[in-house]
């Protein structure tokens, strides 16, 4: 396992930190939760035993799959990061889904959506639109314009809709020539 320190000394090589904090993570295949210090750095999620730990206990790539909410573990509501297909170091992670976890869930969802957008663009050899990247990675956008050529054929518009609740500052969303139908907004 590649060991990464919790500081920013190598951010230019492995990405800036998008989130850090204490979260409640389910112990492997058990119904017990423990607190771990989590660091979301780019498309990778690192966890440490505590804030003072110098090396992580685990690493997992953020999946390019939707985040599943609504799992019940006992009587606790949880959200799940599913295992990434074909990625050896990937694993299924379960976290409590409550108000104290909102910021963490938001950042993981945003990075997962961004990863899905970039991967679909590369796969289809389509242009990656900077305005969409900014929207998917930041909750600070107050206005965004999406053009028809920015939406990939297999790219579901529901990604944008699922992120609306994370964009408190969004005032205007312009859809130019997108030819949306009810299928896109299901």
Give the separation between CA 157 and CA 138, rounded to whole angstroms. Answer: 17
- Which distant-in-sequence residues (6+ apart) come within 8 Å of 63 by Cβ? 81, 82, 83, 84, 90, 112, 115
pTM: 0.75
Same domain, 98 and 17: yes
Share of the chain above pLDDT 70, in %: 69
Place of tokens 């609740």: 165
Higher per-residue pLDDT: 115 or 178: 115
Is 75 part of a structural domain of the chain? yes
Phi-psi region of 92 (alpha: psi -120 to 50; beta: other; left: phi over 0): beta
| Mean pLDDT, range 60-74, rounded to an integer | 84
Is 89 part of a structural domain of the chain? yes
- Name the pLDDT band for 24 (thresholds 50, 70, 90): very high
Same domain, 94 and 177: no
Q: Is the pLDDT of residue 122 over 70?
A: yes
pLDDT tens by residue, 145-166 = 776 665 555 455 656 666 666 6
Give the separation between CA 96 and CA 138, rounded to whole angstroms. Answer: 23
Higher per-residue pLDDT: 13 or 53: 53
| Mean pLDDT, range 175-180, rounded to an integer | 69
Same domain, 178 and 149: yes
Give me 46's structure tokens. Answer: 């690192």
Domain of residue 51, CATH code: 2.30.29.30
Domain enclosing residue 155, as ranges:
126-185
pLDDT tens by residue, 29-55 = 778 889 999 988 888 888 888 888 878
| Mean pLDDT, range 44-69, rounded to an integer | 85
pLDDT at position 2: 43
Nearest to 173 by CA among 158, 161, 185: 161
Check if the beta carbon of residue 132 is closer than 8 Å to that of residue 161: no
């Amino acid at each position: 396992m590649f060991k990464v320190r919790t500081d920013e000394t190598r951010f230019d090589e492995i990405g800036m930190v998008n989130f850090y904090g204490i979260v409640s993570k389910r112990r492997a295949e058990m119904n017990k939760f423990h607190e771990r210090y989590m660091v979301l750095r780019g498309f990778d999620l690192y966890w440490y035993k505590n804030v003072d730990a110098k090396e992580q206990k685990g690493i997992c790539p953020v999946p390019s799959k939707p985040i599943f909410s609504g799992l019940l573990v006992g009587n606790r509501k949880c959200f799940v990061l599913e295992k990434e297909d074909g990625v050896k170091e990937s694993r299924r992670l379960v976290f409590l889904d409550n108000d104290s976890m909102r910021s963490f869930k938001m950042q993981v969802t945003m990075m997962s959506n961004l990863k899905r957008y970039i991967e679909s663009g590369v796969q289809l050899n389509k242009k990656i639109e900077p305005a969409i990247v900014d929207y998917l990675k930041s909750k600070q956008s107050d206005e965004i314009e999406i053009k028809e050529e920015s939406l990939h054929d297999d790219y579901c518009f529901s990604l944008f809709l699922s992120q609306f609740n994370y964009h408190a500052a969004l005032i205007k969303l312009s859809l130019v020539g997108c030819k949306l139908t009810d299928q896109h907004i299901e």
